[in-house]
Amino acid sequence: MLTNSSCGQNKSKNIQESNKKIKFPIQKSDEEWKKVLSPLAFEIMVERGTEPPFRNAYNSNKQKGIYVSAATGEPLFSSEDKYESGSGWPSFTKAIKEGVITVVKDNSHGMIRDEVIETKTGLHLGHVFDDGPKDKGGKRYCMNSAALKFIKQ
C-alpha cells in the first residue's frame, strides 16, 4: 500500500515526463526496469510513489553499513549519516559522496518540494527538506527504503 505524505508523492506524471527528457547515463524502458526492480521498488522509483511511514525496511535499521540504489547498486548513503528524524522514513544528513544524487524541483500535489533522484538513472529516491540537524548542515534526506538496498559492514 502506498501513501502520500510530506516525504512522498504518488505517481507524479509531470516530474516523470520531464525527467524522461533529461539524458541520464543509464536509461531503461519501464519493461526493462520491471525486470530489475521488485514491484514495490518499481512503484517507488519509476512511478514516483512512496511507501508507508514506519512500515518500511530501513526506517529503524541501526546497523552499520551503506545504502545502495535498488536499481544500480551505486552507493548512495552511509549509516554514519543516518539519524532518527521521526518522519517514519530512513533519513540522512547527506549523500555518501558528491554527484551520486541530484535534487530537482517537484511541483506535484500543489506543493513545491525538492525531489531526490539517482544521478545515473533519474529514478526517484525521496525528498530533501531543510529541517535536519543544524550541526550537520540542516538537511533531511528522506528516502524510501524500497529504493535502497542495505549492505551490512
Give catalytic residues, as residue numbers.
Answer: 142
Q: What is the DSSP string of 52-82?
A: PTTSSSSTT---SEEEEETTT--EEEEGGGE
φ and ψ at residue 108, rounded to 5 degrees: -80, 160
The owner of cell 545502495 is: 68
d(CA 123, CA 119): 8
Beta-carbon contacts of residue 17 (< 8 Å; ≥ 6 apart): none
Asked if 127 and 116 touch (Cβ cutoff 8 Å), the reply is yes
